[in-house]
Amino acid sequence: MSHTVSGLIRRSPHIQAGQNNNGTYTMFCFELSEFNKGTQGAEDSYTNYSVALFAKTQGAIEFHQKAIAEGSFVVVTCDKLLIDKQSSNDGKEYIKLKMMNASLSDFNNPNQQQAPQQQPAYNQGQQQGGFSQQAPQQQHQGQQQGGFTQQSQDPRYNQQ
């Protein structure tokens, strides 16, 4: 059974290069926390996840270095979860779920400078790859949102 967790990397990840029988690799370890809002008088709680990802090729290492950084929002998928119980010095027990055989599904790193994507001038307005790309059109009149009818403020769209 597959598990998917998304969250913000709040602490700097642990990155370590290594070597085994399969060759060289780079390990990326980080933690995610999922906030659980307490209902009906119950306390708020957190579910903590521990993730270890491994990259072998230079391209994979560079990709993971961009994605896995403090402040990044990541989506991680794994095959199974392993319960890891730890006790603190004051006797409190902490439970962490280790994501086994994890992979990075998606990420958003606000610390990265991203170049704006631009289409070449000669290609604008033409079909690409055999598919026509049309701009999404919005319905302005009588648009439903949250169970309420919302009318547009622009008088051009309110004409009967």
CB 21 within 8 A of CB 46: no
For residues 38 and 133, the model is more confident at 38
In a domain, 129, yes or no: no
List, in order, residues 6 or more apart from 80 with CB less than 8 Å away. Answer: 1, 3, 100, 101
In a domain, 117, yes or no: no
State which of 34-38, 96-100, 125-129, 152-156 shows the largest mean pLDDT: 96-100
In a domain, 149, yes or no: no
* Strand arrangement of the beta sheet that strand 93-100 belongs to: 14-20, 23-36, 45-55, 93-100, 80-87
| Model pLDDT, residue 115 | 46
For residues 142 and 3, the model is more confident at 3
Q: State the residue range of the domain holding 40.
A: 3-108
| Model pLDDT, residue 113 | 61
Which among 70, 76, 65, 119 is positioned nearest to 99, based on CA atoms? 76
In a domain, 33, yes or no: yes
pLDDT one-digit tens code per residue, 63-103: 999 999 999 999 999 999 999 998 989 988 888 999 999 99
| CATH code at position 31 | 2.40.50
Number of domains within the chain: 1
Looking at the DSSP assignment, which residues form a beta bridge with residue 47?
Answer: 34
In a domain, 97, yes or no: yes
pLDDT one-digit tens code per residue, 9-57: 999 999 999 999 989 999 999 999 888 898 988 899 888 999 999 999 9
Model confidence pTM above 0.85: no
Residue 137 has pLDDT above 60, yes or no: no
- Read off the DSSP letter of residue 33: E
In a domain, 68, yes or no: yes
